[in-house]
Amino acid sequence: MATAPAKFRRQSGLTLMEVLLASVLGLTLLSLAVNIMLSTQRVVSRDANRLYLQQSSRDILRFLSDDIRRAGYNPLQDAPLKLLSASSVIEIEPSSISYVYKKPLGYAYTAIKYDSKRQRLLLCSSTEQQRPVVNSCRYFYSLFDENRIEVHQFQVERKRLYSNMSTSLLSITLTVALVSDSLPLSMTITVFSRS
């Protein structure tokens, strides 16, 4: 038996060059899409961290503002309440502040200080049965997440409005930055307080 030679018609498949070219173009487009997604993810992550920094700073300053307004509150007497051995309602040092106010179950003592060595803003808050003394706080806790935020500056300044008024104006400046980012964020608030 003899076999008849096959007649080749026009081939309808892809050549090796066409497959290689399509693969190279596909991989190029895929790598471009991955690069765009990664850069977008980095930008979104950075912006989310910056937003976290801003919101944390605002929350801390709002807490300080609200708590400082309570300083010296004493419903039992006409005179504002002071820490024992304190010269004013709010004791201010260059990088710390402390005050007391009356609560139903005792005296609320608050001290906030800046630890420049560890770059942290620390809070000590306690309720005492007796009126506390200046610098009597023992256990301080960080106000910020120290793994994500470092504090570069905490400064409190008092400005007397008028010599005969019983209020003063406190200016609180807070400068913070993310641990992973060197760009600092600085915020300042002003609070009226009892003198």
Strand partners, 114: 121
Concatenating the DSSP letter of every residue in 85-123 gives T-SSSSEEETTEEEEEEEETTEEEEEEEEEETTTTEEEE
**Using one digit for the tens of pLDDT, what is the confidence trace for 154-193?**
999 988 777 666 678 889 999 999 998 878 999 999 998 7
Confidence of residue 43 (pLDDT cuts 50, 70, 90): very high
pLDDT over threshold 80, residue 48: yes
Which of 138, 75, 139 minimizes the C-alpha distance to 107? 75
Would you say the C-alpha torsion 143, 149, 150, 155 has a positive or negative sign?
negative
CA 141 to chain centre: 15
The pLDDT of residue 95 is 85
Query: What's the pLDDT score for residue 31?
Result: 95
pLDDT digits over 78-93, tens only?
A: 888 888 877 888 888 8
